[in-house]
């Protein structure tokens, strides 16, 4: 592959990856710097349930109750256990059900923008977004590798490429070992 084609590929991959990386680094940095994200939680309903209800029965009950509470509400799937379920995706308004002492409490969660971004960042968006995020991750990797190859293949940039790659690797190892 000639150098100009590789430069064009690098620019194409980098352009696509820029928005993706910017949103991921923004949401991750805000989480690390500002702490946990906020959401408004309102109790919607409390219902009696049998002791020792299993996950499948709780899921059916939760789905039926969600249809009664908000007939327009759509969710992708339920995640959890026999004592607690969450409707996904959680990067928009969602519901939870928690079982305790023979009753189940259903709550509606309305996440803030920061919480919505972080939930998406963690892969808790729509199931279809997971595949897209996987592809975007490969695009980021392609942008990085083409940039590395372009720097390595240029005599003028080779030492700088080695220095930045080495410093990045050392920084990663130090932070990982903390």
Position 95 pLDDT exceeds 90: yes
Question: How do residues 41-82 score in pLDDT, each as one tens digit?
Answer: 999 999 999 888 999 999 999 999 999 999 999 999 999 999
> Which pLDDT score, from 0 to 100, does residue 141 have?
93
Distance, CA of 109 to chain centre: 17
> Which pLDDT score, from 0 to 100, does residue 14 have?
93
| Residue 119 vs residues 86, 93, 146, 165: alpha-carbon distances, Å | 13, 11, 30, 31
* Spatial distance between the Cα atoms of 144 and 119, rounded to a whole number of angstroms: 25
131, 115 Cβ separation under 8 angstroms: no
Domain ranges in the chain? 3-35+119-177, 39-111
Phi, psi dihedrals of residue 112, rounded to the nearest 5°: -70, 170
* Spatial distance between the Cα atoms of 48 and 102, rounded to a whole number of angstroms: 6
**pTM of the shown model:** 0.77
85, 96 Cβ separation under 8 angstroms: yes
Place of tokens 């004592």: 83
The pLDDT of 133-146, averaged and rounded, is 92
Q: What is the mean pLDDT of the chain?
A: 93
Position 124 pLDDT exceeds 90: no
* Spatial distance between the Cα atoms of 87 and 78, rounded to a whole number of angstroms: 5
* Spatial distance between the Cα atoms of 128 and 130, rounded to a whole number of angstroms: 5
Positive or negative, the Cα torsion across 154, 158, 161, 166?
A: positive
CB neighbour class for 64 (10 Å; exposed up to 12, middle 13-18, buried from 19): exposed
> Which pLDDT score, from 0 to 100, does residue 172 have?
96
Helices (H) and strands (E) in the chain, counts: 5, 5
- Closest to 77 in 3D by CA, of 26, 3, 128: 128
């Amino acid at each position: 592959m000639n150098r100009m084609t590789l430069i064009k590929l690098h620019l194409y991959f980098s352009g696509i990856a820029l928005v993706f990386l910017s949103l991921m680094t923004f949401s991750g940095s805000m989480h690390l710097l500002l702490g946990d994200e906020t959401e408004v939680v309102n109790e919607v309903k409390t219902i009696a349930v049998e002791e020792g209800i299993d996950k499948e029965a709780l899921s059916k009950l939760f789905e039926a109750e969600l249809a009664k509470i908000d007939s327009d509400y759509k969710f992708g799937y339920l995640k959890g256990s026999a004592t607690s379920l969450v409707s996904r995706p959680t990067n928009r308004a969602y519901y939870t059900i928690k079982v305790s002492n023979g009753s189940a409490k259903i709550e509606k969660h309305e996440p803030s923008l920061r919480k919505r971004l972080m939930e998406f960042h963690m892969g808790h968006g729509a199931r279809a977004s997971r595949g897209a995020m996987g592809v975007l991750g490969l695009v980021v990797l392609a942008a990085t590798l083409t940039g590395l190859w372009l720097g390595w293949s240029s005599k003028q940039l080779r030492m700088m490429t080695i220095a930045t790659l080495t410093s990045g690797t050392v920084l990663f190892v130090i932070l990982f070992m903390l």
